[in-house]
Amino acid sequence: MKRRHAVFAGRFPSQARELSRIAHHLAENEEFLPTGERFTPERLQQLGKFLGSWDGPTSLAFLVEDAWAAHGSRKRLSTRFLAECGSALSFASVPLYGVLHESIYSQGAATRWSAHRMKDEREDFSPLADELLLTGESIHPWMFAQDPSLVPFAEAAEILAQKDDWGALYDLDALANCPVPSAAKVYLDDVYVPYDFSRRTAELMPLCTTSVTNRLHHDGLRGGGPAVFAELLDILEPRRG
């Protein structure tokens, strides 16, 4: 996320600086999202979810351009900006995604709010750092107090975060002996799926061919689906029959 944020800041330096100003404004002033909860600096950081897509930096820059509105002699965040942030950050349509997000990666150990613990170790990711770094889709315990759609799931989320008897995620022997030819498009700069994880998984499968690119991001199918599928089918065509 830090590398991806650098891309955003390099292309849109004034908007990156504006995000830092907004974070400090939120720490010192009460602003409220359309669903009624206070907008906080750590919630603002989650706008980094935009950066997971190819055109995300541009979308985020457009959003930040209209952040402010004049209220007499004071600057306040605009109704439009608050509404769009509320829509982008709310888990109202997918609350279970927030609840289960970390547990789907857990194997034999409790997550104990892994992303939150890692963020606390990084002073550069403080929501009040001079340069605001964005956090993307990571899940934090405070979200279950701040997002109204997640509040009812707070107890369940805590139980899952402390659960330490998860079974194996994958049968490595089954992958190593998979007789089915396969092809995979791997996005080198995907901020949500580390390249090394994809590479190591593919290497377990003897008949898996990968095509690596830095021209697409996590939303590769959305942005270039027909071309991606055509390439993968071309890879597999000689193996058919």
Q: Do residues 142 and 226 both lie within one domain? A: no
- Inform me whether the pLDDT recorded for 147 exceeds 90: yes
Q: Do residues 73 and 157 both lie within one domain? A: yes
- The answer to whether 19 touches 44, Cβ cutoff 8 Å, is yes
Q: Please list, in sequence order, all residues whose beta carbon lies within 8 angstroms of the beta carbon of residue 40, skipping any fewer than 6 positions away.
A: 26, 127, 146
As a whole number, the mean pLDDT across the chain is 93
Residue 97 falls within a domain, yes or no?
yes
Which residues sit opposite 133 in a β-bridge? none
The rounded percent of the chain whose pLDDT value lies above 90 is 79
Residue 65 falls within a domain, yes or no?
yes
Q: Do residues 141 and 184 both lie within one domain? A: no
Which residues sit opposite 184 in a β-bridge? 210
Q: Do residues 141 and 226 both lie within one domain? A: no
Tokens of 114: 């892994």
Model confidence over 26-82: pLDDT tens digits?
999 999 999 999 999 999 999 999 998 888 999 999 999 989 997 766 889 999 999
Structure letter (DSSP) for residue 194: -
From 132, 117, 134, select the one nearest 51 (Cα to Cα): 134
Structure letter (DSSP) for residue 134: P
- Inform me whether the pLDDT recorded for 25 exceeds 90: yes
Q: Do residues 184 and 230 both lie within one domain? A: yes
Cβ atoms within 10 Å of 9's Cβ, excluding its own: 19
Q: Do residues 140 and 33 both lie within one domain? A: yes
How many Cα atoms within 13 Å fall on the side-chain side of residue 186? 19
Alpha-carbon span 41 to 51, nearest angstrom = 18
Of 100, 131, 162, the one marking the end of a domain is 162
- Inform me whether the pLDDT recorded for 150 exceeds 60: yes
Of 103, 137, 162, the one marking the end of a domain is 162
Q: Do residues 79 and 137 both lie within one domain? A: yes
Quote the radius of gyration of the chain (alpha carbons, Å).
Answer: 21
- Inform me whether the pLDDT recorded for 241 exceeds 60: no
Concatenating the DSSP letter of every residue in 74-108 gives EEEE-HHHHHHHHHHH--TT-HHHHHHTTGGG--S
Q: Do residues 61 and 129 both lie within one domain? A: yes
The residue segments making up the domain with residue 217 are 172-239
Q: Specify the pTM.
A: 0.88
Q: Give the pLDDT band of residue 220 (cuts 50, 70, 90).
A: confident
Model confidence over 222-239: pLDDT tens digits?
878 899 999 999 999 876
Residue 167 falls within a domain, yes or no?
no
- Inform me whether the pLDDT recorded for 103 exceeds 70: yes
Residue 186 falls within a domain, yes or no?
yes
Structure letter (DSSP) for residue 32: B
Of 101, 136, 162, the one marking the end of a domain is 162
Res 72: pLDDT: 67
